[in-house]
Chain A
Amino acid sequence: EEPASYERLVLKNASVYHYLRISLVFQDSDKRLSEAQFKQLIISALRDLYGEIGAAFPFDVLKFEENTLKAIIRVLSSGLVKLWSALTLLGSYQNEPCAFRIIQVSPLLLALSGNSRDFE
């Protein structure tokens, strides 16, 4: 009788992208900026912390709501820590204090459709 053969399975989080739902907060709430300006702001945040190589890092703004300044961003999983830390350390836009609030982070876009923390 042949001994039972075992197969070794290693499961890693194989998803290529991570998705972030973020919102930009200003001290006075009536600040407006366009989608292009929004992306430029994130690129400049990346450049401030990681230089030109960081600024060249690929990410996409999938959705941007101009009136609430909320957005969904797609980023390669390998660059999640870099993008996230760049967003964290951003403190001003055109000399006006602001902050990025990261609302949700997930490897699945579908997970951003709801937020369990908003449940009553």
Chain B
Amino acid sequence: MAVFADLNINYTDDKKQLRDIIETAAHLGYSTVAINHLIDLQPKKQEIRKPASVDELFRQLPVVQGKSRPIKVLNRLTLGVSDASHFRPSADLKYYDLVAVVPKTEKLFHAACMTFDVDIICITVTEKQPFFFKRPPVNGAIDRGVFFEITYTPAIKDSTMRRYTISNALSLMQTCKGKNVIISSGAEKPLDLRGPYDISNLGLVFGLSEGDAKAAVSTNCRATLLHAETRKTALGVIHTIKKTQTVEEDQEQEAPASKRAKTKHV
């Protein structure tokens, strides 16, 4: 079973608030959270700062409910792009575990899906989607392993935003058929967070199937994180774990008598 993750918690300078949110996330059962730093790429270049280390925030990370393991906190950078030339791979991106992009026009959405070296493409939920999701870029993004993100906090706060969230989500689902979608909070307060099972239920409202809805808070988030890791390497990542080896002799003795006799003959 994959563990749950919430890949969008808004960064605030208020450290206590941020701690409260992460503690609430751990209590609700999220094993991984990502602190989101939002930067709008302007014509005049804005500095991409190095994110504050997580150790500064916590002396001891809160324990995830039901897992007895500390929560994993990552840093994520979200770039608001209004012109394709503003996005260029820079060394500053390597400070962040995840890189997301908010495309503002259809042309940029196409570029983000097909060429940008990012992990997440954010779907606007605060206004009506200004363009249609076309099949080719969405399929291109799915092939490249880039994920589409829907945030749900605006839907909690305001009924108009809720309408936009649901309608934009539904139109995305029509094109991507529930593949490569992640749902995250975008929380600014502890009360904006909802439990992982609540969100997988909410996915049903967004037009996902039951399996896809659960994947949107668990396995897809894991895939996003692995995709982010491959960005820093040449080709891919391999995780190895130590496996206890069984003794060969024991197995031979456990084999049935008929089989043992046969091997002796040969």
* A117 and B201 in contact, given A89-B162, A97-B189, A97-B191 (Cβ under 8 angstroms): no
Is B201 a contact of A85 with CB atoms below 8 Å? yes
A55 contacts chain B at the CB level, 8 A cutoff: no
With known contacts A49-B162, A85-B204, A117–B65 Cβ distance under 8 A: yes
Interchain CB contact (< 8 A) of A99 among B152, B162, B191, B205 = B191
Closest Cβ of chain B: how far from A13's Cβ, in Å? 13
* CA gap between A117 and B197 in the complex, in Å: 14
How distant is B104 from chain A, measured CB to nearest CB, in Å? 26
| Residues of chain B with a CB closer than 8 A to A117's CB | 65-66
Given contacts A97-B191, A98-B191, A117-B65, A81 and B204 within 8 Å (CB-CB): yes
A48 touches B191 (CB 8 A): no
Q: Do A27 and B191 touch (CB < 8 A)?
A: yes
A89 to B159 CA separation, bound complex (whole angstroms): 10
Residue B173 is within 8 A (CB to CB) of chain A in the complex: no
Is B198 part of the contact surface with A, judged by Cβ < 8 Å? yes
Interface size class of A (residues with CB under 8 A): 10 to 19
Which B residues are CB-close (under 8 A) to A27?
189, 191
Q: Are B204 and A88 in contact (CB under 8 A)?
A: no
Give Cα distance in the complex from A90 to B193, angstroms. 11
B226: chain A residues within 8 A (beta carbon): none
A88 adjacent to B194 (CB under 8 Å):
yes
Q: Among B189, B195, B202, point to the contact of A89 (Cβ < 8 A).
A: B202
> Which residue of B156, B198, B204 is within 8 Å of A102 (Cβ)?
B198
Report Cα–Cα, A40/B205, bound state, in Å. Answer: 23
Does residue B138 face the partner (Cβ distance < 8 Å to A)?
A: no
Contact B195 A91 (CB under 8 A): no
Residues of chain A with a CB closer than 8 A to B192's CB: 91, 99
- Nearest CB of B to A86, in Å: 9
Q: Which one, B28, B159, B199, contacts A88 given CB within 8 A?
A: B199
In this assembly, does A61 line the interface, its C-beta being within 8 Å of a C-beta of chain B?
no
Decide yes or no whether A25 CB sits under 8 A from chain B: yes
A38 on the B face (CB < 8 A) = no
- Taking each of A25, A27, A88, which has the highest tally of chain B beta carbons within 10 Å of its own beta carbon? A88
Q: Which of B156, B201, B202, B205 contacts A91 (CB 8 A)?
A: B156
Q: Which residue of A lies closest to B194 (CB)?
A: A88
Taking the complex as formed, is A101 at the interface, i.e. its CB lies under 8 A from any CB of chain B?
A: yes
User: Mask for A34-76, Cβ within 8 A of B = 1, else 0?
Assistant: 0000000000000011000000000000000000000000000
Q: Which chain A residues have a beta carbon within 8 Å of chain B's beta carbons?
A: 25, 27, 48-49, 81, 84-85, 87-91, 97-99, 101-102, 105, 117
Q: What would be 7 A-B contacts, judged by CB atoms less than 8 Å apart?
A: A49-B162, A89-B155, A91-B157, A91-B192, A97-B189, A99-B193, A101-B28
B residues with a Cβ closer than 8 A to A are: 28, 65-66, 152, 155-157, 159, 162, 189, 191-195, 197-199, 201-202, 204-205
> Which 7 A-B pairs give the minimum distances between C-beta atoms?
A91-B156, A88-B198, A99-B191, A85-B205, A84-B201, A97-B191, A117-B66
Other 7 A-B pairs with CB < 8 A, given A97-B191, A99-B193, A105-B197: A85-B201, A85-B202, A88-B198, A91-B156, A91-B191, A117-B65, A117-B66
